[in-house]
Structure 1
Amino acid sequence: MKRKFRHCARRAGPLRPAAVARPGRAGLLASALFVLLAALAPALLPAPARGENLERQRDRYLEAESALRRGQLSRFEQLKQKLFEYPLYGYLDFAYLRKYRKKATAEQLREFFRLYNGQPIATRMRTAWLQELARRRDWETFLDFYWPQTSTRLRCHEIHARLKLGREPEQALEDALELWMVGHSQPDACTPVFKALYAASVLSADHIWQRIRLAFAAGKPSLARYLARQLSGGDRRWVERWYQAHRRPTAALTSNWAQHDSPLVREILAHALIRLARHKPAQAAQHLQRLEKTHRFTPGRRGEVLRRIALSAVLSDDPQADALLARAPDDGQDHDLAQWRVRHALRRQDTAAVLDTIGQLAPALRGQDEWRYWEAWALDRQGQRGRAMQIYGELAEKRSYYGFLAADRLQRDYAMNDRPTPARRDELRQLASWPAFRRAHELYLLGRRTDARREWYAATRQMEQRQLELAAVLAHRWGWHDRAIITAAEARHWDDLALRFPLAHRDTILAAAARYRLDPALIYGVIRQESAFMEDAHSAVGALGLMQLMPATGRQTARALNIRYGGNRALLHSSHNIQLGSAYLNHLLTRYKGSPVLAAAAYNAGPHRVSRWLPRKQAVPAALWTENIPFRETRHYVKQVLTYATIFDWRLSRTITRLSSRLSDIRPRD
């Protein structure tokens, strides 16, 4: 579906809260101009700024922001009136209202939302305004402005408003129950709503037990313990036993209360067994075997416990993994365990078991490149070369990890399948003239990357595939590579390699590669997988920048190099991040004797984990070792980095390093 963007009407003066407004001739003129512009809104076109170049307007915009921060409102308004045609004009209204929202009136906000409806600043302002109205406890106005929200905090405020005003209280309590019934704590804004649930006697003991079960399943035992306060004394004791079983499963499994057989006891014991199996699967299996003699576990619960024990055994390469896998029933639904049966057979290099376990996978899984490749590998080792070569040949036509592995088996050139995106200059010019793209580009040039991404998302979220392809090309030509990569992926447009694998920061990367004796394609591969070239990338765990360095790693690496760290924000500077990230990658390669597989795994999961995953006795082929990395994320990461390094070899017009040559055998731990 095509998305049409229309240039919103703007007024010359700021949207001033009544308490700080300065009425006078200028204010009346501004008001009159607003009325005129509002009437002409449909006729306004998304024309570029006229009369002066964008660079001058950009400077004036920054000056206006500075005046607003300093409280120089007359100067702010004077500058703002000269920026009417500047793409970011609305951001000045937004900044003004957000700064003075505590004194703003509902009418001023209505004007703002009318002018900027559909733009990211309207969404952000609505959130800020709703939070302000909740602070004022102005529930009538809150409901007038409320739109459906993803924010749990605002949803709770909305339910609270309905309860306060008596608007469909029964439905409000039902909505509150939905927000309450989760396995984690909710924001403080929900507290009065949840108190209303308790006061209205909506929550029964069954409801509380249901949430307690969700909390334990989510690994939130303290929440379960807190919820138990609403239960009877007898029930509280059972929740406390469950809490202790979560924390100390071995002790719980041999406690006096565990000797009784009841549905609740079995449920708690199953939880304890699964908790114990995470680190001691064989011991958990022994406890289950003992308890089965006195407790009537249902087939479903017994099967779940056995599958979790078997999975833990395989992931930890437990010596009893074969026996534990054999005990675990196949319910046809646990696809994760089914695939680990194959990986375990690969670890043992048991080709018959590999073929057998692949044959037991669901058809959709069995047809994936991963398992087709290993099926061909097993057939080849069994002497069934005809069928193996056929599968290898089909895979070798693809630009992928398994495609490259298959091409190495066949000693073929890699199929890069590069298809540049056709894009006419007039198509790109028309797209770039859309108001949302003009705003996104200006914000990008100003270094306001988060705001720029919001505008980009708003512009592209309802685009058709061809428009998305053009948008990806546009971002690429702007040098905004992370948006180009992500937008191409949204278009499912995989084959424009210049767009998806840009040679950004080339001089910096080549210099770092020379300094630290690294393969530049490997540095590119890490950057492409870590951040997709998003220079200001922040991960949920605190990693920063192009190469997603943790601050502690950055500091340690800078100290080792005897260079200035510069603080965490310095990691967002591309050259600094590449220098430290490349040095750390070199450190890992040195530690793991030049193995790109182990270095990539350690870069993602940490050296301490990789050292635990090393073979115990004899060397293992790297491709087999990679398949048995316990963490799904790290397993995928290693494959992607190596694949991307191969593609960047091609993009750099270098002799391509064969993937198999990067897969030297993984030697046992020292």
Structure 2
Amino acid sequence: MPILLKALQYLRQHLKRLHLAGLLSGLLCVLLLFPASSSTSAFFGRQYLPLQPDPQARLLFTQTYRELRRGQLVDLAEVLPNLQHYPLAPYLEYQLFRNQLAYRVVDQDRIHSFLTRHADAGFHARLRDEWLTNLGQQQNWDSYLQATSTHGLSNNLNLQCFQLRAEAAIQGQSMQWLEQAADFWRNNQPLPASCRPLSESLHLLGLLSSEDYANAALALMRNRQTSQAWALNQHLTPQDRQWLTFWRNARQNPSAQINALLQGRVNLKSVDASLRDELLTDLLQHHGRTHPTQTRQFVTQLTQHELISQQAGWSVLEHLAIRAAQRSQDATLELFARIPTEARSFTGHEWYARTLLRQAQWPELLDALQWLNAEQLSTGEWRYWQAHALQQTGETAEARQRLQALATERQYYGFLAARELGLPLSMNAADTPIQAHHLQELSQHPGLIRAAELYFTGFTEDATREWLHSLRDATPEDWIQAGWLARHWGWHDRSVDAANRAGMMDALELRFPLAHLETLQPLAQQANLELSLILALIRKESLFNPDARSPVGALGLMQVMPATGQQVSRQLRINLQPESDLLKPEYNLPVGVHYLAGLMRRYQQDPILAAAAYNAGPTRANSWRNSFGQETDPLWVERITFAETRDYVKSLIAFSEVYAWRLAQEAQRQALLNPLPPGPEG
């Protein structure tokens, strides 16, 4: 039975058995006086709902907007008169202009007039930039300058290059323009392709020195844009050509070039020592990814030939040691031993300490932690493991004192500390009261009305853009009230984001929404899963955004991969079109819960292994289980070699605890609002 139902049933029976009708009434009054500590649905009137549009207008807009988003040039002459009072009507014109720009059939006067009328709309900056790009590509410089003078210019380098070219073409190359253009060229490498004519003009005018070109080439090499850097070779001095030629050739064949350097067939002695260190460090670190043994040999030889400084050599060796530590390789401690302790970076010190932690070398870990900086030592991770190491080395009093301080915090390591000490978990939830007047103002904001309607019609990307644009100057209090508004609309990822932007990390009712309970409660019960675990997973995977798409293709609330969705749908005997249906909660949630339940059964109800498998796949989770052991514990989690999965598991465990608390609070609230009638007397 789900946690919420269990807690609700228990509380009702307990109150009934004790005949605490008077206490129940008193608690109910307190609850109603302090809405911020409970669900807010009862405190929202219809005045906080977005304007209710004509259903026919909404349908007409939705159908037309979808056609336009498919790239069609729809005639809006018969559509717009039917949407005169509909808040999203301008979005049809916006998308039509975007299509016309793509086909290069736009009327310049009409788009200028449209942007002027809708200067405060969320789409303004996007449409303006696309229009400016179109004008720049056509070299319509007069219209370009008129557009930027009226509608502004973003920090986009491509558009700024067009702006400089437009000014030169229309206003001439004044001394001020020459200085501005040259400074722009120097300070914004690497530049986009649209700046090539500007670069050529500056070169012909003699405004760029060989030093300017050398600095640009260096910036491009640091950005790993080797071919673009090589294109500047002709403008460099012979000395600068020397290092660029070596660096470029060595990226193509590092071992051959480094051997040539060691054998004297290539000479970098005249290159500045710091630059030589930089380029050799870059080459050796990248070569070390695939050839670590040869790279260590190169470091020794280059140091002996005084071609690389001792500190740079240690930096490369540390880089190799850190990579070994990240993979938990057996030789990691030996690799760190080759670098003097005082020569290691703070990152190196931390990975050395993490290696000792994974190997449970507690006395050595305590010594290693002394080399971490204050910021590193202040994290929950190292506070917990330092206390654990003290405990393991007999310093139990100090260990307990440190754990007690950590146990007062709502975080993964705080929960671990509390569990060890047998203390209740600290949630530290803060009241975030609803301000009725403030909420009323926000609910009537034109931009937020548009954002809400876009959200309700399913155009979430546009809705989010409109929402953020409307709240671009919001204060923390604005964000909190906006969070309540989004929460009331069921737009949960925005309510979480709003609380975060307000800096209200303790606003748990906003940051950990109890969403989709009507669907999830029976699913959790059928799958024999804790509801808190499912909610935690959704919170971690998608932030309750049903339209979430990951870079690797995972979809929806529970971020299900299409192939996994197809496989699970066959088990559930439901017809599923993965690419579209997994973006719908009614499909995503049953599929995701079923898949999670299968992982829990596979790993004997171990949430750590199930979480690791959900994130990294069962194959990887199995390999970790074989390497670290069948029984999981906090140290097992630290040994996970994928940083993303390691953090994922910690987040899921912590979020599950928060959601267990949230569900218990909600069950208590429901019990107080819906008390059972008193039992028979006697």
TM-score in terms of structure 1 length:
0.79
Amino acid at match of 1:520: L
Q: Which SS does the other structure have where 2:123 is aligned?
A: helix
The partner residue of 1:142 within 141, 144, 149 is: 144
User: Given that residues 421 and 473 in structure 1 are in contact (C-alpha distance below 8 angstroms), is that contact kept between their aligned partners in structure 2?
Assistant: no
- Residue number in structure 1 paired with 2:58: 58
The partner residue of 1:262 within 263, 268, 276 is: 268
The partner residue of 1:162 within 158, 164, 167 is: 167
Q: What is the alpha-carbon distance in structure 1 between the residues aligned to residue 257 and residue 564 of structure 2? A: 40
Distance 1:302 1:73, change over 3 A: closer
Q: Report matched runs for 1:97-108 at 5 Å.
A: 97-100=97-100, 102=104, 106-108=108-110
Distance 1:618 1:463, change over 3 A: closer
- Residue number in structure 2 paired with 1:127: 129
Amino acid at match of 1:123: A
Q: What is the alpha-carbon distance in structure 1 between the residues aligned to residue 618 and residue 232 of structure 2? A: 40
Corresponding position: 1:372 with 2:383:
yes
Amino acid at match of 1:491: A
User: Given that residues 536 and 572 in structure 1 are in contact (C-alpha distance below 8 angstroms), is that contact kept between their aligned partners in structure 2?
Assistant: yes
Q: What is the alpha-carbon distance in structure 1 between the residues aligned to residue 568 and residue 49 of structure 2? A: 47
- Residue number in structure 2 paired with 1:11: none
| 1:88 CA displacement | 2.4
Q: What is the alpha-carbon distance in structure 1 between the residues aligned to residue 222 and residue 523 of structure 2? A: 46
- Residue number in structure 1 paired with 2:88: 88
Q: Report matched runs for 1:196-215 at 5 Å.
A: 196-197=201-202, 199-200=204-205, 207=212, 209-215=214-220
Q: Which SS does the other structure have where 2:539 is aligned?
A: helix
User: Given that residues 122 and 466 in structure 2 are in contact (C-alpha distance below 8 angstroms), is that contact kept between their aligned partners in structure 1?
Assistant: yes
Q: What is the alpha-carbon distance in structure 2 between the residues aligned to residue 496 and residue 189 of structure 1? A: 47
Q: What is the alpha-carbon distance in structure 2 between the residues aligned to residue 466 and residue 647 of structure 1? A: 24
User: Given that residues 307 and 337 in structure 1 are in contact (C-alpha distance below 8 angstroms), is that contact kept between their aligned partners in structure 2?
Assistant: yes
Q: What is the alpha-carbon distance in structure 1 between the residues aligned to residue 416 and residue 50 of structure 2? A: 53
- Residue number in structure 1 paired with 2:194: 189
User: Given that residues 163 and 172 in structure 1 are in contact (C-alpha distance below 8 angstroms), is that contact kept between their aligned partners in structure 2?
Assistant: no
Amino acid at match of 2:169: K
Amino acid at match of 1:130: L
User: Given that residues 546 and 574 in structure 1 are in contact (C-alpha distance below 8 angstroms), is that contact kept between their aligned partners in structure 2?
Assistant: yes
User: Given that residues 432 and 474 in structure 1 are in contact (C-alpha distance below 8 angstroms), is that contact kept between their aligned partners in structure 2?
Assistant: yes
| 1:530 CA displacement | 1.5
Q: What is the alpha-carbon distance in structure 1 between the residues aligned to residue 555 and residue 243 of structure 2? A: 45
Q: Which SS does the other structure have where 2:664 is aligned?
A: coil
User: Over residues 166-225 of structure 1, what are the superposed CA-to-partner deviations in whole Å (9 max), with x where a residue is unaligned?
Assistant: 34144224313433x23xxx6543443344455555556655554554455445555556
Amino acid at match of 1:490: R
Q: What is the alpha-carbon distance in structure 1 between the residues aligned to residue 625 and residue 214 of structure 2? A: 43
User: Given that residues 439 and 455 in structure 1 are in contact (C-alpha distance below 8 angstroms), is that contact kept between their aligned partners in structure 2?
Assistant: yes
User: Given that residues 303 and 310 in structure 2 are in contact (C-alpha distance below 8 angstroms), is that contact kept between their aligned partners in structure 1?
Assistant: no
User: Given that residues 512 and 659 in structure 2 are in contact (C-alpha distance below 8 angstroms), is that contact kept between their aligned partners in structure 1?
Assistant: yes
User: Over residues 345-377 of structure 1, what are the superposed CA-to-partner deviations in whole Å (9 max), with x where a residue is unaligned?
Assistant: 211212222222222211122122221111111
User: Given that residues 64 and 75 in structure 1 are in contact (C-alpha distance below 8 angstroms), is that contact kept between their aligned partners in structure 2?
Assistant: no
User: Given that residues 281 and 310 in structure 1 are in contact (C-alpha distance below 8 angstroms), is that contact kept between their aligned partners in structure 2?
Assistant: no
- Residue number in structure 2 paired with 1:10: none
The partner residue of 1:499 within 493, 497, 510 is: 510
Q: What is the alpha-carbon distance in structure 2 between the residues aligned to residue 577 and residue 477 of structure 1? A: 22
The partner residue of 2:460 within 437, 449, 460 is: 449
Q: Which SS does the other structure have where 1:548 is aligned?
A: coil
User: Given that residues 277 and 309 in structure 1 are in contact (C-alpha distance below 8 angstroms), is that contact kept between their aligned partners in structure 2?
Assistant: yes
The partner residue of 1:79 within 82, 85, 105 is: 82
For structure 2, list consecutive stretches of 5 or more residues without a partner in the other structure. 1-46, 668-682
Q: What is the alpha-carbon distance in structure 1 between the residues aligned to residue 215 and residue 618 of structure 2? A: 40
| 1:283 CA displacement | 4.7
Corresponding position: 1:460 with 2:471:
yes
Q: What is the alpha-carbon distance in structure 2 between the residues aligned to residue 513 and residue 331 of structure 1? A: 53
The partner residue of 1:635 within 623, 646, 660 is: 646
The partner residue of 1:310 within 317, 321, 332 is: 321
User: Given that residues 113 and 122 in structure 1 are in contact (C-alpha distance below 8 angstroms), is that contact kept between their aligned partners in structure 2?
Assistant: yes
The partner residue of 1:116 within 115, 118, 130 is: 118
User: Over residues 15-70 of structure 1, what are the superposed CA-to-partner deviations in whole Å (9 max), with x where a residue is unaligned?
Assistant: xxxxxxxxxxxxxxxxxxxxxxxxxxxxxxx99999x9544543454477589867
Distance 1:510 1:131, change over 3 A: same
| 1:394 CA displacement | 1.4
Q: Which SS does the other structure have where 1:140 is aligned?
A: helix
Identity of matched residues, %: 32
- Residue number in structure 1 paired with 2:363: 352
CA-based RMSD? 3.7
Amino acid at match of 1:259: Q
Q: What is the alpha-carbon distance in structure 2 between the residues aligned to residue 612 and residue 222 of structure 1? A: 41
Q: Which SS does the other structure have where 1:75 is aligned?
A: coil
User: Over residues 418-450 of structure 1, what are the superposed CA-to-partner deviations in whole Å (9 max), with x where a residue is unaligned?
Assistant: 334211444322321111221111111111111
Q: Report matched runs for 1:243-254 at 5 Å.
A: 243=248, 245-246=250-251, 249-250=254-255, 252-253=257-258
- Residue number in structure 2 paired with 1:400: 411
User: Given that residues 122 and 467 in structure 2 are in contact (C-alpha distance below 8 angstroms), is that contact kept between their aligned partners in structure 1?
Assistant: no
Q: What is the alpha-carbon distance in structure 1 between the residues aligned to residue 168 and residue 197 of structure 2? A: 10
User: Given that residues 281 and 312 in structure 1 are in contact (C-alpha distance below 8 angstroms), is that contact kept between their aligned partners in structure 2?
Assistant: no
- Residue number in structure 1 paired with 2:35: none
Distance 1:513 1:299, change over 3 A: same
Q: What is the alpha-carbon distance in structure 1 between the residues aligned to residue 567 and residue 231 of structure 2? A: 41
Corresponding position: 1:171 with 2:191:
no
- Residue number in structure 1 paired with 2:373: 362
- Residue number in structure 1 paired with 2:22: none
- Residue number in structure 2 paired with 1:277: 288
Q: What is the alpha-carbon distance in structure 2 between the residues aligned to residue 322 and residue 310 of structure 1? A: 8
Q: Report matched runs for 1:369-518 at 5 Å.
A: 369-514=380-525, 516-518=527-529
User: Given that residues 214 and 240 in structure 2 are in contact (C-alpha distance below 8 angstroms), is that contact kept between their aligned partners in structure 1?
Assistant: no
- Residue number in structure 2 paired with 1:301: 312
The partner residue of 2:532 within 515, 521, 534 is: 521
Structure with the greater relative contact order (CA < 8 A, sep ≥ 6): 1 or 2? 2
Q: What is the alpha-carbon distance in structure 2 between the residues aligned to residue 48 and residue 588 of structure 1? A: 40
Q: What is the alpha-carbon distance in structure 2 between the residues aligned to residue 611 and residue 213 of structure 1? A: 45
| 1:453 CA displacement | 0.8
For structure 1, list consecutive stretches of 5 or more residues without a partner in the other structure. 1-45, 657-670
Q: What is the alpha-carbon distance in structure 2 between the residues aligned to residue 283 and residue 559 of structure 1? A: 51
TM-score in terms of structure 2 length:
0.78
| 1:336 CA displacement | 2.2
Q: What is the alpha-carbon distance in structure 2 between the residues aligned to residue 49 and residue 415 of structure 1? A: 37
Corresponding position: 1:535 with 2:546:
yes
User: Given that residues 118 and 124 in structure 2 are in contact (C-alpha distance below 8 angstroms), is that contact kept between their aligned partners in structure 1?
Assistant: yes
Moved more, 242-251 or 307-316: 242-251
- Residue number in structure 1 paired with 2:673: none
Q: What is the alpha-carbon distance in structure 1 between the residues aligned to residue 291 and residue 626 of structure 2? A: 19
Q: Which SS does the other structure have where 2:304 is aligned?
A: coil
Distance 1:518 1:436, change over 3 A: same
